[in-house]
Structure 1
Amino acid sequence: MSIIFLNGAYVRAEDARISPFDRGFTFGEGVYEVCIAVNGNFVDAPAHLARLDRSLAACGIAAPPERAELHSIMKELLQKNDVRTGLVYLQVTSGMSSRNFTACPEGRPTLMMLTQASDFEQTPAFRDGIHVQLQEDIRWLHRDIKTTMLLPQVMAKRNALANGVSDTLFYDALGITEGASSNVFLVDGHGTLVTRPLSNLLLAGCTRERILELAQEAGFVIDERPIQRAELATAAECFVTSATYLVAPVLSVDGRAIADGKAGQVTRRLQHLYCAYIAGEGRACADM
């Protein structure tokens, strides 16, 4: 029996009630964050909450009255669900109004938080890698906002599964934009890390930011520029990053193997660095 946090109270999930007039339900007017915890400690929570603030401001949604206490609420939610390693999902919508595009919400924003247990380092994606497909990116042009309007990503992921692969990478006229729920990195033949620079066309991933910092500290050369689709054919390695993927090797794209079709040394090195970071005190991942 799970406990969620809803508008100022901890309640059993089956007892939670949200109005059918909530604008998150009628218009998809909401934003969210996913923050992982390892051994009871959140990973980069300040960055996630700062991005939440940016998304709220961009959408004109008022911050919930619990904003200053969100970190402590997240910790208590883990404890109430007896979760030490897993995630907290946090969603804010503008609240209730009549079914009208421009109606002002009545009352407070809706804040809902839930938690799930997960051992991220033991997922098949992290340990073994993923196979992906390419799809033209015809989504809206504010992908930098972490909105709950995720139907295009849901459709892309379901299409990938129907085609026998794990996920989808989007592309536009400039190159690869992002994964359906991740940022994309390529390692070229010289060992340079290549990833698309931030803009309104992709989400500023918190894991992406941390990987770039760890890679720079480790002496890797980084080139922030669009990845051309043709480069995937000659890439030494490719991987994706996200809060739940952590760092996942990409083994093939549209049925064509990346290099030898196995996770590369740079990807594995960055996995170790990131695992050590999230665990604290330099503990690396289990042998992979």
Structure 2
Amino acid sequence: MQRIVYVNGEWLPESEAKVSVFDRGFLFADAVYEVTAVIGGKLIDYAGHAARLKRSLGELRIPSPTDPDSLLEIHREIVARNNLDEGLIYLQISRGPADRDFAFPKNPAPTIVLFTQAKAILANPKVETGISVITIPDLRWARRDIKTVQLLYPSIAKMEAMRRNADDAWLVEDGFITEASSANAHIVTTEGKLVTRSLSSAILHGITRASVLDLARSVGVTVEERAFTPEEAKNAAEAFITSASSFVMPVTRIDDGPVGDGLPGPVTQRLRAAYIEDRLSGAI
């Protein structure tokens, strides 16, 4: 059965969904995106994703093709049309079609696309074992706080991780971890402190990251927002990543060595459980 895709106001079978070859998202990666998790047919952390989308569009001066209320209704409609119980909604907005020119078109007509991906999030088997990561240089552009579709280097990082029999890569710049290929990176020190990189243009301002840090503070976990080195991560008691597609995912190996005892740690597990409970109760 084909998925139903939303393209510029139309609901289409995926085989009929098309975008212009002149679309700047295709020609220049001149586009932003968001990914929202769906559990039990409801949207998780939607308000945060909508707010970040607005910010990303503003940073690139792309006019929004829809208003906030309509965007929420489109999300709910795509869940219903695809009978999505658990998985993801992918949203992309580009500056739209225009003759190829590095200069932005004067009167852009943005392209908006949404599609669903059915995926097990709560029952991901990696939660029980944790994932392994490698460390490699961070060679992305400098505005990682804007959630653009410029994802070629993260894809290269992921492929390098797979080549080295790992699940993902943690990116390193000036001797410090920035983030994972598509998630924020966190460690838990031997003193039980949660350490994660502070917000800047060096990392994506993760919606799940923000929620988890709030929850950590509420349950008495000390949070330090600062940069940390690969060596500090390897000597940490625990490590994990956060993202809309994995929530809180343990990291149990870094560069072929175990983190802590090589098993998902108690703080990580506690935060994952707290996040799921809290966000399911507030899902829309």
Aligned: 1:91 with 2:92? yes
Match of 2:57 in 1: 56
SS at structure 1 position matched to 2:64: coil
SS at structure 1 position matched to 2:143: coil
Closer/same/farther in 2, CA of residues 122 and 82 from structure 1, 3 Å limit: same
**Equivalent AA in structure 2 for residue 159 of structure 1:** E
Aligned: 1:3 with 2:4? yes
Q: Is the 8 A contact 2:95 2:108 kept in 1?
A: no
TM-score, normalising length: structure 1: 0.94
SS at structure 2 position matched to 1:146: coil
**Equivalent AA in structure 1 for residue 154 of structure 2:** Q
Match of 2:238 in 1: 237
| Counterpart-to-counterpart distance in 2, 1:99 and 1:107 | 13
Q: Is the 8 A contact 1:95 1:106 kept in 2?
A: no
SS at structure 2 position matched to 1:212: helix
1:118-137 aligned at under 5 Å gives the runs 118-137=119-138
Q: Is the 8 A contact 2:197 2:225 kept in 1?
A: yes
Distance apart, 1:41 and its partner CA: 1.5
| Counterpart-to-counterpart distance in 2, 1:226 and 1:122 | 31
Match of 1:41 in 2: 42
Q: Is the 8 A contact 2:24 2:95 kept in 1?
A: yes
State the percentage of identical aligned residues: 37
Q: Structure 1, residues 12-58: CA drift from partner, whole Å, max 9, x if none? A: 11111211000001111000000011112211111101100111111
TM-score, normalising length: structure 2: 0.96
| Counterpart-to-counterpart distance in 1, 2:277 and 2:69 | 29
- Range that drifts further, 124-133 or 139-148: 124-133
1:136-147 aligned at under 5 Å gives the runs 136-147=137-148
Unaligned 5+ segments in structure 2 are none
Match of 2:203 in 1: 202
Q: Structure 1, residues 152-203: CA drift from partner, whole Å, max 9, x if none? A: 0000001100110000000111511000001011100110000010000000
**Equivalent AA in structure 2 for residue 232 of structure 1:** A
Q: Is the 8 A contact 2:36 2:46 kept in 1?
A: yes
- How many residue pairs end up in the alignment? 281
| Counterpart-to-counterpart distance in 1, 2:120 and 2:236 | 30
Q: Structure 1, residues 256-288: CA drift from partner, whole Å, max 9, x if none? A: 11011111111111111112123228xxxxxxx
| Counterpart-to-counterpart distance in 1, 2:65 and 2:207 | 22
Q: Is the 8 A contact 2:35 2:89 kept in 1?
A: yes
| Counterpart-to-counterpart distance in 2, 1:62 and 1:237 | 42
1:60-75 aligned at under 5 Å gives the runs 60-75=61-76
| Counterpart-to-counterpart distance in 2, 1:165 and 1:262 | 16
SS at structure 1 position matched to 2:83: coil
Match of 1:183 in 2: 184
